[in-house]
A and B are shown apart, each in its own frame.
Chain A
Amino acid sequence: MPVNETLATYSDWLYRSALGVYLFAILLYAVEQAFARAPRKKAEALVGAGAPVPGILADEPKSELSKPERIGRMGAALTVLGAVLHLASLVMRGLSAGRAPWGNMYEYMSLLCLAAVVTWLVLMAKFPIRRLGAFVLTPILILLFLGGTVLYAESAPVQPALRSYWLVIHVSVISISSGVLLIPGVTSILYLLKDGKADRFPKLPSADVLDRMSYRTTVLAFPLFTAGIICGAIWAEAAWGRFWGWDPKETVAFVSWVVYAAYLHARATAGWRGRGAAWINVAGFALNVFNLFFINLVTSGLHSYAGL
């Protein structure tokens, strides 16, 4: 199947535009973070007493948005725009090569980052954390930039071992779950900054909110990650003759799986909640990044993508 060059070129343009838009979004978020006042502590919902259920029915008072807040909102809108361009770039890639658009490291990275951005958008809708956008989008932008330069590969078909619907399932699940796991990686770092010294970073959300965000995203991604590893094993059985062979990539995936399992346990173990758990989550993400770069580029295993 020949590659459609026109679509491939569109895909590259869209990718670059998405990067540009994300960069603007980061700047706007940074402005909000820098100039907005520290969040006032909101009264705990549902603690009031008296007639018709205060705190439940009453809506939040609608106050005028401050200027930095309006800038932050623009940042959020740009993030949505960036994600749309980003998605379009992946779709064009897939159409141009006539296959699922995660057949080499560049594409894998792109999908991973898209998953991270989308997760972030969802979280932003749920928690009052918009101003953290700069912290989250910066590592994503760095990964996207590395993906688009160092790892870049022309649109092309893939080698025989990758021609399987398992490519579609295994790689997408692993890539998306790793992308989702980027978010708790970042919020756990913020947690470590914030925890203990509540007044040191007054503009960050409370340690409690950060911890809860980390936990909820990890809990969402961990079963996905597990399923991704298992799909990989099923595929390895069909493609390489064994479902598990301690290939370097398999090994590091196993190790980071164990680390995330340890995170979940740490949150239920006295003395490990909070800081201990946060460190473990950061370590888990560091391992995922290590798996992506070091194992793919430096060691040689069965798992290397053709043409990088």
Chain B
Amino acid sequence: MIAFLRNTWRGLTSMRTALTLLFLLALAAMPGALLPQLSLNASKVDEYVAQHGWWGRFLLKLGFFEVYATPWFAAIYLLLFTSLVGCLLPRTWEYFKQMRARPVLTPRNLSRMPHHAQAVLDVTPEEVVEKAKKSMRGWRMDAGDGTVSAERGYLRETGNLVFHFALLGLLVSFALGKMFSYEGQVIVQANGGQFCNGGIFNYDQFRPGLRVDGTDLTPFCVEVGKFSAEYLDNGQPVGYQADIRYQSGADLAANTWQPYNLQVNHPLRTDGDRLYLLGHGYTPTFTVTFPNGEKRTQGIQWLPTDQLTLASEGATKFDPPGVTDSEQRRKSQIAVTGLLAPTPLLHGNILNSKFPALNNPMVAVDVYRGDLGVDDGRGQSIFSIDQKMVEQGRLQKVARKNLALGEEIALDDGTKVRFDSVNDWVSLQVSHDPTQGYVLLFAILIILGLGVSLTVKRRRVWVRATPQDDGRTLVEVGGLARTDQAGYGEEFTRLARAVLNEEKS
């Protein structure tokens, strides 16, 4: 039993196993790049599964659409981790022993070494030893009776261990980050819209880590002020920015605000959370004047359907005022749907957009009246009306028209719909990851360790001076690079040249 465990452990921590596991990891990560992934684009996954029949369902069952969350990926990751720990422990032990060890005694036959040179010189062995000691300053060295053995490049192993331990640290911090991080997205109206990180329900979309239930998010609030964008002539965006105010920590209690200029590539970092400006779009505002003279004004974000021209679609929904009978209310709800063109381009009556900035924006609207179906308990998209209601005839299209700013439509019952104005909205992302600082630290250590371990060479030099019968001295120099011979030749040549000459030092 013990033997079995020991063999398993040995097998698991051998270089060969580590190599195999590295390949497995590479192989297992690949599907994540080739197949659509749930975490990145869930609708593409649905599409793929639908298109590929049993094969798609098979892949779905095996977790190929969420590769990095599957048990098999975790298994490889953990095995590699174990293997890494297993090979690092003995190597660390070795390392401390080696740090105190003396250079290896001069071997008997130096001509067997990969690097070797010799000459018979008119000097004494003592002079040779002195010269060798001088030319190898900085090496760890033992000089004995007519021989010198020297070694240097211990830093290589240091770098190597730093690299591997940092890798370990990075894996651990990454995994911890996955547990305690979260990420949420929300759309906020510019010029006064507010958002507070109070709970999951304030978000349009929220992705918690495994150990996050959303009950204790760090509180902070933002208020979005003026948004501005800059475009090239072809509509390609050049830069976005939003002036925001925020409060966190003590500011919350004191109700004071800090200004910040939020830009792409320049997130706001506050109290362990980060706030990003992801994108923007437009919010048309409509005023409905009901037959009884009452007015309702609504502005809700519409969704850009063309990223280059920001032509946007949406649905702005109204409840009739003062109607308490729910039956009656459901017959006279109003939805203004259609297309918003920030810079209009008209082909006859067909409206489209030709540029993403606001230049006399227009909307092409369809006005619906009837039952919007918002009360039946099923959530519905804020960007569209429920087509089922239209198909069942419970919601009817009662007008269609292109409107410029300030223009209005009159419905058959005297209701008027006016297109008032257009506001910007911004989509914000809040991200929280308590371990990313550690990940960065380990990543830097990885590079440093790697740099040291790949540039420093562990190498040895031996010198032996043997007196000859004729009173001269045979001087032999041998050299060995412990890891890779590449590049050692030049240094050895230089050293050998320094030792193998007859000048007195």
Contact = CB atoms under 8 A, between A and B. Distances in A.
A53 B500 contact: yes
B237 interface: yes
A35 B337 CA distance: 77
Contact of A222 (B39, B263, B443, B454): B454
Interface string B25-42: 110011011100101100
A254 B267 CA distance: 26
| Interface size of A as a range | 35 or more
Nearest to B30: A255
Given A254-B29, A299-B33, A299-B34, A241 B240 contact: no
Contacts of B444: 230
A223 to B, nearest CB: 5
A47 interface: yes
B454 A251 contact: no
Interface string A224-255: 00110010011001111111111111011011
Contacts of A254: 29
Interface string A249-286: 10110110011011001111101100000000000000
Given A49-B118, A227-B447, A215 B40 contact: no
B400 interface: no
A226 B26 CA distance: 16
A289 interface: no
Contacts of A261: 22
A220 B120 CA distance: 40
B22 A265 contact: yes
A240 B19 CA distance: 33
B239 interface: yes
B33 A255 contact: yes
Contacts of A265: 15, 18-19, 22
Interface string B424-447: 000001010100100110011011
B484 interface: yes
Interface in B210-246: 232, 236-240
B493 interface: yes
B183 A223 contact: no
Contacts of B493: 45-46, 56
A159 B68 contact: no
B187 interface: no
B105 interface: no
Contact of B450 (A222, A242, A245): A222
A219 interface: yes
A56 B117 contact: yes
B74 interface: no
B29 A251 contact: yes
B449 to A, nearest CB: 9
B134 interface: no
A237 B183 CA distance: 12
B183 A242 contact: yes
B398 interface: no
B276 interface: yes
Contacts of B32: 246, 248, 251
A44 B266 CA distance: 59
A45 B489 contact: yes
B206 interface: no
Contacts of A271: 16
Nearest to B479: A46
B39 A246 contact: yes
Given A160-B264, A255-B26, A52 B119 contact: yes
B199 to A, nearest CB: 20
B329 interface: no
B296 interface: no
Nearest to A233: B443
| Interface size of B as a range | 35 or more
Interface in B477-502: 483-487, 489, 492-493, 496-497, 500-501
Given A216-B486, A246-B37, A46 B454 contact: no
B416 interface: no
A146 interface: no
B292 interface: no
A34 interface: no
A150 interface: no
B440 A234 contact: yes
A226 B453 CA distance: 14
Interface in B107-163: 115-120
Contact of B120 (A51, A227, A241): A51
A50 interface: yes
Nearest to A268: B15
A241 B183 contact: yes
Given A56-B493, A243-B439, A216 B450 contact: no
> Which of B26, B30, B174, B429 has the most chain A CB within a 10 Å cutoff?
B26
Nearest to B264: A160
B267 A241 contact: yes
B381 interface: no
Contacts of A163: 238-239, 264-265
A147 interface: no
A234 B443 CA distance: 10
Interface string A36-60: 0000000001110111110111000
A269 B240 contact: no
A226 B237 contact: no
A244 to B, nearest CB: 7
Given A51-B120, A241-B431, A212 B33 contact: no
Contacts of B440: 234, 243
Interface string B238-281: 11100000000000000000000001111100000010101000
B233 to A, nearest CB: 10
B58 interface: no
A267 B484 CA distance: 9
Nearest to B439: A243
A262 B183 contact: no
A74 interface: no
B72 interface: no
Given A160-B264, A251-B33, A268-B15, A244 B174 contact: yes
B118 A241 contact: no
Closest CB pairs A-B (n = 5): A251-B33, A248-B33, A160-B264, A258-B26, A262-B22
Interface of A: 45-47, 49-53, 55-57, 156-157, 159-161, 163-164, 166, 212, 215-216, 219, 222-223, 226-227, 230, 233-234, 237-249, 251-252, 254-255, 258-259, 261-262, 265-269, 271-272, 295, 299, 301, 306
16 contacts: A50-B120, A56-B117, A157-B238, A163-B265, A166-B265, A222-B454, A241-B278, A242-B183, A243-B440, A251-B30, A255-B33, A258-B25, A259-B22, A265-B15, A265-B19, A269-B16
